Amino acid sequence: MQGRYEGEAMEGKAPHHDGWIAPHAFRHRWRFVLVIALGTLAALCAVMLLFTSGYLISKSALRPENILMVYVPIVGVRAFGIFRAVFRYAERLAGHDAVLRVLAEQRVKLYRILEPQALFLRSRMRAGDVLGALADDVERLQDIYLRTVFPAVTSLILYAAAVAAFGSMDPGFALWIGLYLLVLVGILPALSLKMTWKLHVRMKRENANLYTRLTDGVLGLGDWMASGRVRKFVLQQEAEEGRADEVRGRLQQWTRWRDLLAQCVIGLTVCSVTIWAGGQAFAGHVPAVMIAAFALVVFPLAEAVLPVSEAVQHIPRYRESLDRLRRLEGTEGEQGQQKEAEPRLEHMSPNPAEPSLERLSDHRIRIRIHPKHKADIRLDRVSFRYGQDDEDAVHELTLHLPQGKRLAILGRSGGGKSTLLKLIQGALEPSAGKVLFNEQPVQSLGESLPEVISVLNQHPHLFDTTVANNLRIGRPDATDEQLRRVAAQVGLADLIQSLPLGYETPMLETGQRFSGGERQRIALARVLLRDTPVVILDEPTVGLDPMTERALMRTMLESMQGKTMIWVTHHLMGAEQMDELIFMENGRIAMRGSHEQLLAKEERYRRLVELDRPGWAGNAKREPWAQTWQKPEPLFNRKI
């Protein structure tokens, strides 16, 4: 480990564990130094511009006999005015270039954190946290540099330069200037940070309550109206908004008082410098024409240091964003650390018939299972628990799924079905035992696991784009002929052809153009287009009417011949078509066997079949699954 960090230091890289700020600042330190240097030069040009202008105005007021007497300050005013704009433009250009590079790296880092967790993001974090991180938090971090770090460092440099310049002429007065500017560059920012931190925490809490109530109200507006309590909802919402507005008002009030105090300090500084310069001129230490020059210098100095108070005001927001990003990073936990040391998968051989192996320089084996290749899945005494003090969510489970086997997983909610799926998908690593694909640990598949496993869940997301683009989500290079073929397989060919633009017809947001069964068929077409050897069906028929459910099940079973099918369900529709059924209870397999075997030896299973199919009287062949007309409530929510 130490050697790795030493190697990174030699290559000019900061250790990865430093966080979201330090590694990027270290990597782009010379760009940052350039930005600060350009900002300092721009501020110095502004100081010299007003200094020269004050001298020029005073000198011109004496009516010099020849314009050559003021020619040098005229040239100085022009030069400093031009170079101030040039340095300011260069500083903005270099600053945004450096920060956008950092922003790109942070977005890549965030993606690498979220991508391995895509299978279980919704179960481990709120969608708002993920969207906030993607849309706001990472982008907000660029303001740390542009609005806080760069202005603060430039202000400190100018502060030191101003004290040194006045100190070279009068050390005693330099001390007073240092105190005046310290109020602007240190004391006011510290007070601003203290005040805004408390108010920001309170405003965040009030906004959270406001948004929560508003979201609930909008989503439940029909229920509010039906209950006749719309007026109460409006009053509650107005009260929440009033509390949030009160906090915002206090923030604005503090900002106004802070700006007033800063302007008073600037005015006092101008008066002090004017009096001091007058005294220096009276004593003959400086020409009288320099009085205005020294007085005007205060304004660009103040302009350079005033942004610090506003810059530190944003620190609570930066901290909030950093904390949220670190929480997202922390959800990887030990899983992410273990994956760094696990084998990664990369294409090494053009031969699709065999897995390809290559021994790398860091002694890791890279494996690739081609989508057309069979996937033999084996779970060997697998156990998993979410916390050290928790009970096993899955306990010593052993399964063998050769290519083409059809497995149905049934059980009550909380019985371990979802955990088992995540173990098979590699989203969770077993606490004990092994999950093997073709005798290799599932984690060794790495980024190629989606080429082996497809998932059709309860609520597949359809994007607001064309039908063709939605179908190509799983296979971007699919041809039009392949799209038409899978559409025919899932029974959508005629429907798509009847649309105004055929496959180029927009689906509208979340696929609103289509019914629930049609959306599931489009999602099924995606799965078929990917052509993976393993397909997981995570209750894909939930919420569909019995006729649509029956038709979709028939389509899935007919279109997935030869594929390994793992079907999670609460119902027994299609049980006869499964090679094996397992019933999960408390992380263990309570019953297992084929439909016929369970009918023959398990009284409990026979009662479940009777509940699922009213009118069934013990004869397994009396009513085929495809003829079942009634869809009862989930079986395992009942007592039997």
Q: Which one has a higher pLDDT value, 415 or 616?
A: 415
What mean pLDDT is predicted for residues 5-17?
A: 40
Alpha helix (H) residue ranges in 467-545: 467-471, 480-489, 493-497, 516-530
Delimiting residues of CATH 3.40.50.300 domain(s) in the chain? 369-452+533-640, 462-531
Cα torsion 598, 603, 607, 613: sign? positive
pLDDT of 44-102, one tens digit each?
999 999 999 988 888 888 887 777 778 888 999 999 999 999 999 999 999 989 988 88
Q: Which residues contact 481 (CB under 8 A, 6 or more apart)?
A: none
Q: Which one has a higher pLDDT value, 317 or 442?
A: 442
Helix axes 171-182 and 230-282, enclosed angle (nearest 10): 170
Cα torsion 34, 38, 44, 45: sign? positive
CB 380 within 8 A of CB 423: no
- Within 10 Å of residue 242's Cβ, how many Cβ atoms? 11
**H or E, element range at 199:** helix 188-219
54 burial level (CB within 10 Å; 0-12, 13-18, 19+): buried
CB 503 within 8 A of CB 480: yes
Q: What is the largest CA-CA distance in the chain?
A: 122
Delimiting residues of CATH 1.20.1560.10 domain(s) in the chain? 2-327
pLDDT-based confidence at 6, cuts 50/70/90?
Answer: very low
**Is 396 strand, coil or helix?**
strand
CA distances from 366 to 303, 348, 358, 426, 446 (A): 58, 8, 6, 16, 9
Q: Is the pLDDT confidence value at 633 over 70?
A: no
Q: Is the pLDDT confidence value at 128 over 60?
A: no
pLDDT of 348-392, one tens digit each?
333 433 444 333 333 333 444 443 467 888 888 888 888 777 788
- Going through 225-374 in order, the beta strands assigned E by DSSP cover 356-359, 365-368
**Is 343 strand, coil or helix?**
coil
- CA dist 605 and 612 (Å) reads 10
CB-side neighbour CA atoms (13 Å) of 168: 5
- Characterize the bridge pairing of strands 406-411 and 564-568: parallel
pLDDT at 358: 37
**Is 570 strand, coil or helix?**
coil
Q: Which CATH superfamily is domain 2-327 in?
A: ABC transporter type 1, transmembrane domain (1.20.1560.10)
Residue 127, both tokens:
């969608």
pLDDT of 133-174, one tens digit each?
555 666 667 778 888 888 888 888 988 998 998 888 888 888
Q: Which one has a higher pLDDT value, 127 or 380?
A: 380
| pTM of the predicted protein model | 0.55
Strands laid side by side in the 453-456 sheet = 453-456, 534-538, 564-568, 406-411, 580-585, 588-593
- Within 10 Å of residue 121's Cβ, how many Cβ atoms? 17
**Range with the lowest mean pLDDT among 220-229, 393-402, 420-429?**
220-229
Domain 462-531 in CATH 3.40.50.300: yes
> According to the 3-state scheme, what is the secondary structure of 150-179?
HHHHHHHHHHHHHHHHHHCCCHHHHHHHHH
- CA dist 367 and 347 (Å) reads 7
pLDDT at 330: 61
Instruction: Measure the CA angle with vertex 527, ends 523 and 529; round to 5°.
Output: 110
pLDDT-based confidence at 125, cuts 50/70/90?
Answer: low
What residues pair up with 85 in beta bridges, in sequence order?
A: none
CA distances from 628 to 251, 361, 596 (A): 65, 59, 18
**Selection from 299, 306, 181 nearest residue 173 by Cα:** 181
CA distances from 599 to 575, 576, 593, 617, 625 (A): 11, 11, 9, 12, 15
* DSSP letter string, 65-102: SSGGGTHHHHHHHHHHHHHHHHHHHHHHHHHHHHHHHH
What's the DSSP call for residue 372?
T
What residues pair up with 565 in beta bridges, in sequence order?
A: 406, 535
pLDDT at 275: 92
CATH of domain 369-452+533-640: 3.40.50.300
**H or E, element range at 547:** helix 546-559
- In whole numbers, what is the pLDDT of the chain averaged over residues? 76
**Residue 39 CA to chain centroid, in angstroms?**
32
- CA dist 358 and 347 (Å) reads 10
pLDDT at 615: 56
Residue 435 falls in which region: left (phi positive, over 0), alpha (psi -120 to 50) or beta: beta
CB 497 within 8 A of CB 468: no
CA distances from 337 to 325, 329, 441 (A): 17, 11, 16
- CA dist 334 and 446 (Å) reads 16
